[in-house]
Chains A and B, each alone.
Chain A
Amino acid sequence: DAKTTQPNSMESNEEEPVHLPCNHSTISGTDYIHWYRQLPSQGPEYVIHGLTSNVNNRMASLAIAEDRKSSTLILHRATLRDAAVYYCILRDDNAGNMLTFGGGTRLMVKP
């Protein structure tokens, strides 16, 4: 799997937007960009994924750069419950069903 680079930690204020960056300069044409997050004392949970176009769902938005070498997960209004480790993962659907987790970004949300 191509590697991703994320900041180790970020801080946000409650009810403000949060932009979590991810660099993936060696992404291949068939790699999907997946985001998962892991809340304290829980397993990871799926957040969103995309290939080329920006994506929105009830949890977040995913903005993908035109060259696909970077992406940004956007939480529109951070809440205390969004404090978690956020993982950006590349997955080639044609190359098996494995996810390779990196260190992720630890998001801290201040009240």
Chain B
Amino acid sequence: TQLLEQSPQFLSIQEGENLTVYCNSSSVFSSLQWYRQEPGEGPVLLVTVVTGGEVKKLKRLTFQFGDARKDSSLHITAAQPGDTGLYLCAGSSSGTYKYIFGTGTRLKVLA
């Protein structure tokens, strides 16, 4: 069974601080996505990474896919209150037509 463990589970930081969220598995994934979900809404896709070692940047967010395609990280620089939410990673393998979601990291950025 493929599992994705995220750490930390909860994170409360002050505005302007940097943070990193980790997504780890013992399984290899063909692609990995990161989402952010806010209360009362469905998850919103932030990025998809497909190549081992790939790094993508989205404004203050930096995403990296591990060389072995078993792990990923999300780094936020100078966090803002608007970054508050539940961050989810999700992995997929080719031909399976499904994504396995991680356990989630709940981030709260205090003004």
Partners in one complex: no
- Identify the A interface with B (CB < 8 A): none
- Identify the B interface with A (CB < 8 A): none
